[in-house]
Amino acid sequence: MARREWPLVVFTLLGQTAVGAFGLTAVPLAFSGRSAAGAAEAGGPSLMFVLCAGVAALLAVAAVISFLHLGRPWLAFHAADNIKRSWLSREIFCLIAFLFLAAGLAAWLWLRPESAARPGPLRAAVVAAGLSGLAFLYSMVRVYMLETVPVWRNIHTPASFLVSALLLGSLGSALVLSGLADRTAQGGVPSARYQASVALIAAAAGLAVTIFLTPLAGVFGARAATLRARPGKGIVPLIAVRTLLLAGVGACVLIHGIGANPSAPMKARLFLWTALAGALAAAGVGRWLFYAVYDRIGV
Amino acid sequence: MSRLGFFFDASACSGCKACQAACKDKNGLEVGVLWRRVYEVQGGAWRNEGGLWRPDVFAYNVSIACNHCELPICRNVCPTAAIEQREDGIVTIDRARCIGCRYCEWACPYGALQFDEPANRMTKCDFCADEIEAGRPPACVAACPMRALDFGDIEELRARHGATAAIFPLPAPDVTKPALVIKPHRDAARAEAEGAEVANWEEI
């Protein structure tokens, strides 16, 4: 993988974390009937506010990091000019929409915390933001499904992006929830067991995707057919590392659960941090591999 | 309006790279940027015939620039709409609009999009549109001593030379429909079948 792709590794992982965290936590929270408790009642910010602000911050950081990948970032405002044809333009458009909706929701809940007591408008806004997040994830997948790049145009791309969103999103939002549960009126919403279950399923799915679907460096183009220029040399050891990391994450979640033992919240948080660190490392290795095996047809 | 295309005669090309050099010279291209490239294809091995080992090898050259495709994938993926196609088929890039994301470089199966490192933006063959408008051929065509390169209305080229638009190591033409006609080298089919290789990646 060319060194210039590392901003894309970070951008895609942060974006997928934001989509996963919002979809898995903010949307259920909005429909749980318990999201009405705001700052005034709880003596602190509502969970919904924290989630929306966190997601907006993640997306903003992702957007800034993506600029590092551009040759001329000062022209980045042109990046959504070709929505008619380009999935990359659509991805940027959806990112901006998701970012503004999440930031707008956070600002709304911060300035008028009592408005969270009106579930109708809040739910509508959360659903709109969630849909824009889904569209962002979908367009991100389509960006890489190029007809001329068979190594990306297969089930591995959507599967690995979805696994990253579920795994990082569930662990990231669980960490936020566990950190704020004792400072808000909505502790345990959504439940820690729900987050743990999603993380466990995502880790298992990640293992399956890694073992069965990771494309080995394919020979599609003439350059790859020349042995000395074959891309993705030595990727099997990295697949093994990613497999071990995902197994560790799964074991971490399975053995302890996420906040499953309310009598030992510190221990739960330690496991949670360990699981998140492992998941980030596994996702980083997986994404690095993804770019490393790039090879197009032709020359 | 007629659409322009290139003709390349692989059976005539000697691999002198005059086309590549003329293009580079005419357009003042940076080191490492080649709008036209000559790929050296080679294959074969020793063959044992009745106990006697004979060399059974082949080699030919493929000169390729942007093929100004009918379905230009570079235009379709460019997020800034910097890449456009004129009525005469020439695919152009607005360098002032390019953000240097290099997405078109990932997508083009002909390697036509070339990144200019000092300027941090993509560049590509513009068919020497200024020369054509002045009634002259593109620099690569004008420079070829073997007359292996030609240009013109793509339908006329197809009528004259046939509809072949692919030769190893180029991709099948159905993805982007290149405005390109090729007269294959006699060993082109063998190169495809036997898995020949491009021998000069370091030059390209």
CA distance A91 to chain B (A): 9
Residues A34-59 have pLDDT tens digits of 544 444 454 556 888 999 999 999 99
Judge whether B91 is closer than 8 Å to chain A, CB to CB.
no
- Chain B environment of A85 (Cβ under 8 Å): 75-77, 81
Judge whether B108 lies within some domain: yes
Hey, which residues does B54 pair with through a beta bridge? Answer: B47
Please answer yes or no on whether A86 and B97 come within 8 Å at the CB atom: no
Average pLDDT over residues B6-33: 97
What does A20-74 look like in DSSP terms, one character per residue?
Answer: HHIIIIIHHHHTSS-TT--HHHHTS--HHHHHHHHHHHHHHHHHHHHHTT-SSGG
Q: Is A297 on the interface with B (CB under 8 A)?
A: yes
Is B202 part of a structural domain of the chain? no
Residue of A nearest to B41 (CA): A222
Residue B158, in any domain of the structure? yes
Element (H or E) spanning B85, and its range? Answer: strand B83-85
B204 domain-assigned: no
DSSP 3-state of B198:
strand
Say if B171 falls within a structural domain.
yes
pLDDT of residue A189: 56
Q: Is residue B185 part of a domain?
A: yes
Which pLDDT does position B169 carry in this prediction?
93
- Mind listing the pLDDT tens digit for each residue in B66-96? 999 999 999 999 999 999 999 999 999 998 9
Distance from C-alpha of B75 to C-alpha of B97, rounded to nearest angstrom: 13
In chain B, whose CA is at the least distance from the CA of A87? B77
Return the residue of A nearest to B192 by Cα: A222
Q: Is residue B177 left, alpha or beta, with left meaning phi > 0 and alpha meaning psi from -120 to 50? A: left
pLDDT in tens, A102-155: 999 999 998 887 776 677 888 999 999 999 999 999 999 999 999 999 989 999
Report chain B's mean pLDDT, rounded to a whole number: 95
Q: For residue B26, what is the domain's CATH number?
A: 3.30.70.20
First-to-last alpha carbon distance for chain A, in angstroms, is: 17
> What is the number of other CB atoms lying within 10 angstroms of the CB of residue B176?
27
Instruction: Tell me whether residues B101 and A70 touch, CB distance under 8 A.
Output: yes
Q: Write out the two tokens for B31.
A: 């080191």
Quick one: average pLDDT of B21-32?
Answer: 96
The predicted-structure confidence for B49-62, as pLDDT tens digits, reads as follows 999 999 999 999 99
Domain count of the fold of chain B: 1
* pLDDT at residue B108 greater than cutoff 60: yes
Give the gap in angstroms from C-alpha B110 to the nearest C-alpha of chain A: 5
A296 touches chain B (CB under 8 A): yes
A residues 39-98 lying closer than 8 A (beta carbon) to B: 69-73, 75-76, 78-82, 85-89, 92
A70/A170 Cα distance (integer angstroms):
30
Phi, psi of B42 (to 5 degrees): -145, 155
- A128-137, A207-216, B96-105: which has the minimum mean pLDDT? A207-216
Task: Express each pLDDT in A171-201 by its tens digit.
Answer: 998 888 777 655 554 544 567 778 788 888 9
> Which residues span the domain enclosing B102?
4-46+54-197
**SS3 state at B11:** coil
Which has more pLDDT, A293 or A226?
Answer: A293
Query: In 3-state terms, what secondary structure has residue B122?
Result: strand
How far, in whole angstroms, is CA B53 from its chain's centroid? 37
Query: What tokens does B58 get?
Result: 């082949």
Strand B83-85, strand B91-93: pairing: antiparallel
Across the interface, whether the CB atoms of B79 and A70 are under 8 A apart is answered: no
* CA torsion angle B179 B185 B191 B193 (round to 10): 80
Residues 6+ positions from A186 with CB-CB distance below 8 Å: A29, A34, A35, A37, A42, A46, A47
> CA A173, A176, A177: angle at the middle one, nearest 5?
85
In a domain, B92, yes or no: yes
pLDDT averaged over every residue in chain A: 84
Closest C-alpha to B125, from B145, B136, B111, B144 = B111
Nearest CB among B79, B175, B201 relative to A147 is that of: B175
Q: Does B98 touch chain A (CB under 8 A)?
A: yes
B101 inside domain: yes
Which segments of A152-231 does DSSP mark as H helices, in order?
A: 156-180, 192-208, 222-225
Burial of residue B204 (CB within 10 Å: 0-12, 13-18, 19+) is middle
Average pLDDT over residues B169-178: 95
- The residues, any chain, with a CB within 8 Å of residue B85's CB and separated by 6 or more, are B68, B72, B75, B91, B92
